[in-house]
Chain A
Amino acid sequence: MRLLTELLGTPTEADLGVKGTTYQSQLPELRLKEKKSRSSLLLSIQETSSIMGSVAESQRTLYPYVTGSSVVAIKYKDGILMAADMGGSYGSTLRYKSIERLKPIGKHSLLGASGEISDFQEILRYLDELILYDNMWDDGNSLGPKEVHNYLTRVMYNRRNKFNPLWNSLVLGGVKNGQKYLGMVNMIGINFEDNHVATGLGNHLARPILRDEWNENLTFEEGVKLLEKCMRVLLYRDRSAVNKIQISKITEEGATVYPPFSLKTYWEFSAFRNPAAGAAGSW
């Protein structure tokens, strides 16, 4: 039932003039519960004075604590390929080195996330619940990538409506009934589908490469090679990228997350060895 509180944000969202659904009758108390647990969980200014109380309660000045960097994903011949590194940055400190940011969701979907790691893990809990309830029907129907993406879109957008965003960019890929799906949604609810997507700095550094080199009939090997190329560029130029990378694929047969690996790099260029050469007065 908590799923629903996530979905029904502003009254306009769900209250489409259809009254008397089970949702509405149960909403208010759940909303309160949610608010309580939230405010104790989250940073922000707590009720410091009784006058400020109501203001502080609703204030959620958010910035991320531990963040993951780019996710890059493409469609290929048999499905979707996704790549992300395993770093978790605390500001500019590399705080965690083995964070998994690619997760299979249900039978048909794969989720990748950049941004606040704790929010991502919270989202995974929502999705676990969603998939569990879906499976409990046990009726042969199941949520495909399109449905999961749409659900996430509503969750992200409703949280932004409450000025309490989940600080992530999410990539959702999957295959169902021969239909490939690749979409994105960010912390304020912007969402779209494309043949290739990349979050964060990946949008600047990886997508130009993808626009040049991507095509619909990439084989698995070609796809992995292309993703490695993108991840290598990101590794060189994104300061928060780390050289421990996961690649994951999803096809009609299901999702596979491959064990982490490192990219071969070459740091012996003279500009790398002495970046200050020729810059007079620099140390």
Chain B
Amino acid sequence: MFRNQYDTDVTTWSPAGRLFQVEYAMEAVKQGSAAIGLRSKTHVVLACVNKANSDLSSHQKKIFKVDDHIGVAIAGLTADGRVLSRYMRSECINYSYTYESPLPVGRLVVQLADKAQVCTQRSWKRPYGVGLLVAGLDESGAHLYYNCPSGNYFEYQAFAIGSRSQAAKTYLERRFENFMGSSREDLIKDALIATRETLQGEKLTSSICTIAVVGVGEAFHILDQETVQQLIDAFEIVREEESPPAQPQPTAEPAAQASGADQAATTEQGDVAPMDI
């Protein structure tokens, strides 16, 4: 089962200069169901795919409101995601207690990244197994960040993480140049389409996705299910039964699932480049 002798704790380097435990944490992000974010000049939209663990259970919440001006979507270990969003909430509350103004998004993201970084340098800790898309608005405009278990963070125009996120990324890469001038509605539409891309043929319904918006004059909020369904219907995002899905989905690997990684099936098991996000 062991991949090599350098992966038993986070603080041990491999001769190739890699920290395997950190890379495994990033792997956990890929196993979580997809989360998508995209922004215009004035708005940021977050979307995620909800997959229930079993037919008998409900799905887990993957989008959290942090403050009126910030929200996150997560992929990976939802439990870690909850802890981190609680941390972010308390940072926002403390900041607005002292300054009576909202915490700039970029600063919160750096604090969050520093918190993740600590876990990559302590022998008694484990990296957070969760990736966060942080959407926010501050005096310098709308922002979308991706926070990685490694402590890296990046600002994006649009991004997708989690299982089968490559399909969404491909879609976003084709379209992102127009996003800056997009209206709120167009952003949501693109978010829905990108979400659908990750479903690989499964029908997009409001019950398997969550959409959240933050923007100028609009506090961060999660759209309710009816609204999302109306939007799906209005945009006719329902996939017509045209071409059959390219490849029938390989069934989930039963044993290899990291316990607790949220729901979705493992797809590609290819080698990860060192420190690739």
Contacts and interface: CB of A to CB of B under 8 A. Distances in A.
B106 A16 contact: no
Interface stretch (A68-76, A134-142, A254-262): A134-142
A192 interface: no
B15 to A, nearest CB: 35
A101 to B, nearest CB: 24
A14 B90 CA distance: 10
Given A141-B106, A141-B140, A16 B93 contact: yes
B94 A141 contact: no
B106 A143 contact: no
A150 B94 CA distance: 13
Interface stretch (B97-105, B187-195, B206-214, B229-237): B97-105
B91 interface: yes
A23 B99 contact: no
Contacts of B100: 146-147, 150
A151 B98 contact: yes
Contacts of B104: 137, 139, 141
Interface string A108-146: 000000000000000000000000000001011101101
B107 A139 contact: yes
Contact-residue bracket for chain B: 10 to 19
A18 B93 contact: yes
Interface of B is mostly: helix
Interface string A242-279: 00000000000000000000000000000000000000
Contact of B138 (A7, A16, A141, A151): A141
B87 interface: yes
Interface string B118-144: 000000000000000000001110000
Contacts of A150: 98-101
A92 to B, nearest CB: 38
A146 B96 CA distance: 12
B160 to A, nearest CB: 25
Contacts of A23: 94
Given A21-B87, A139-B104, A141-B107, A14 B97 contact: yes
A154 interface: yes
Between B89, B98, B106, B138, the greatest number of chain A beta carbons within 10 A of the residue's beta carbon is seen for B98
A21 to B, nearest CB: 5
In the A-B complex, the 9 residue pairs with the smallest Cβ-Cβ separation, listed nearest first, are A18-B90, A147-B99, A141-B104, A150-B100, A140-B140, A139-B106, A150-B99, A154-B98, A147-B101
Interface of A: 7, 14, 16, 18, 20-21, 23, 137, 139-141, 143-144, 146-147, 150-151, 154, 177
Given A20-B90, A137-B107, 7 more contacts: A18-B93, A137-B106, A139-B140, A141-B106, A141-B138, A147-B99, A147-B101
